[in-house]
A and B are shown apart, each in its own frame.
Chain A
Amino acid sequence: MSTLKTNLDQHIDPSNKIPEISLMQGFWAVLKRDVITAFRQRSDMINPVVFFLMVVTMMPLGISPESKSLSFLAPGLLWVIALLATLLSLDSLFRSDYEDGSLEQVILSPQSLYFMVIAKVLSHWLTTGLPLTFVAPLLGVLLALPAEGYLPLLASLLLGTVTLSLVGAIGAALTVSLRKGGLLLSLIIMPLYVPVLIFGASCVRMAVEGFPIGGLLAILGAFCAVAIVLAPLAIAGALRMSVEA
């Protein structure tokens, strides 16, 4: 009986209570901060898009300006370059937070790391994946992509870049504590990017050749859904591990 009473007392003790804060407060705080930071450092944000633009501009010069051969290569090229541009931006995803100590503070927050990680990846996607998606159709013109390919390109990149950001963030979280993690990051992430690339590029090619693409888009959507649910768990775990070191 007495133990029950002390338990009750402890329960009532106001200083022992977890402060009532909403589940999403950490999510919004992280998202707002990261988007503001990205816009203040616009050059970092524009980097992947400029890379995308440069490589696509070089292609006709390097391969052939003939629209027939370009339009055959366009779906695959656009997807490969978008993927590499994403990869280029990944290394800095957690780097500055790790170096200035705010990553520790995020991990020590009593709020769910899962949602805060989603916020970080979402802001990464908003500042790299989304601009890439919207620039891609414009660059399709440079590569003489046939008209049927534009909407599928937009749709497949929209779904695909979310997956790329989420999966890439796992690698970024694993390598954030290494001083030169760039190469390792690419090695970890590349095999995981392959399925997205295959389905994304073939989605555009099928559309150009006049086949239905519903199934391919559904598979890309499934990748995206699985990544949204599972990747944050892996990222959160990897970040905890990186901070220990």
Chain B
Amino acid sequence: MNPSSVLLECKALACERDGRVLFEQLDLVINSGDVVQIEGPNGCGKTTLLRALTTLLPDYEGEITWRGESVRRNRREYLSNLLFIGHLPGVKNTLTPRENLSFLTQLQQDVSLAEIDAALAKVGLYGYEDMPGHQLSAGQLRRIALARLYLSRAQVWVLDEPYTAIDKQGVANLEALFLEHATQGGCVIMTTHQSPSIQQLKKVTLQEYSPAYRAKHRDKQCALVEKEGS
């Protein structure tokens, strides 16, 4: 595979929520091998952007393409190459980690029990495989969802706050995993308020695409132009 091939592309993307435009004219190119952090203050539309990228939110303007084809038209193929972990982990506390992980993985691909147990061991849940979810801590429940990353064959990982409730060692493991995924030709798009220690991290500051910021910026430029003119 060509190492720098374009996987995802957003063209002039705009989203609104309850009648308020969150961001507009967002152009974003995500190549294979990219780790992208979407940053910005609370409420600037990070989650909305991620949900638009996963096709959960079809109500956007502009276009999102997967390998050059619109995700609206190519939804099924795109979804089979996508792994999304939202801030709700999708984990049931009536089920054991093994049952939860095997369900979530089977939605995407075939998986064997040995693979499930290996993935759970990698996120530090060895010995907890058969413990009901309501006896686990919040961090452990999130780790069940994150164990999907070790099993996934998807190229695009969209992660909303993956570091929430995860300890330092866990964060380091995740970052190593992101890098490995990137070198294998995948891409990671995430939001977080921590600063990941990944060197090739691409940052997208979503605030810069909000209408208020853009208007301010335009005014400044106009003022500059006028100054130069006089």
Contacts and interface: CB of A to CB of B under 8 A. Distances in A.
Interface of A: 10, 13, 15-16, 18-19, 21, 25-26, 29-30, 32-33, 36-37, 40-41, 96, 99-102, 104-111, 243-244
B139 interface: no
Interface in B52-98: 54-59, 67, 76-77, 79-82, 84, 86-95
B103 interface: yes
A191 B128 CA distance: 48
B109 A105 contact: no
Interface of B: 1, 54-59, 67, 76-77, 79-82, 84, 86-95, 99, 102-104, 106-110, 132, 153, 155, 185
B2 to A, nearest CB: 10
Given A29-B106, A37-B92, A107 B56 contact: yes
25 contacts: A13-B1, A15-B81, A18-B77, A19-B109, A19-B110, A19-B153, A29-B106, A33-B92, A33-B95, A33-B99, A40-B95, A100-B90, A100-B92, A101-B89, A102-B92, A102-B103, A105-B84, A105-B90, A106-B107, A108-B82, A109-B108, A110-B76, A110-B77, A110-B79, A244-B57
Contact of A96 (B54, B84, B87, B92): B92
B197 to A, nearest CB: 28
Given A19-B153, A36-B99, A37-B95, A104 B110 contact: no
Given A21-B109, A108-B84, A110-B77, 12 more contacts: A10-B67, A19-B153, A25-B106, A37-B95, A40-B94, A96-B92, A102-B104, A104-B56, A105-B90, A108-B107, A109-B79, A244-B58
A102 B90 contact: yes
B91 A33 contact: no
B107 A26 contact: yes
B88 A100 contact: yes
B103 A101 contact: no
Chain A interface, >50% SS class: helix
Contacts of B67: 10, 16
B56 A110 contact: no
Nearest to A41: B94
Given A15-B1, A19-B109, A104-B84, A37 B94 contact: yes
A21 B84 CA distance: 19
Nearest to B58: A244
B86 A101 contact: yes
Nearest to A101: B88
B99 A18 contact: no
Contacts of A30: 103
Contacts of A13: 1
Contacts of A29: 102-103, 106-107
A106 B93 CA distance: 17
Contacts of A105: 84, 90, 104, 107
B148 to A, nearest CB: 9
8 nearest interchain CB pairs? A101-B88, A110-B80, A109-B107, A29-B106, A102-B90, A101-B90, A110-B79, A105-B90
Nearest to A102: B90
Contacts of A96: 92
Contacts of A108: 54-56, 79, 82, 84, 107
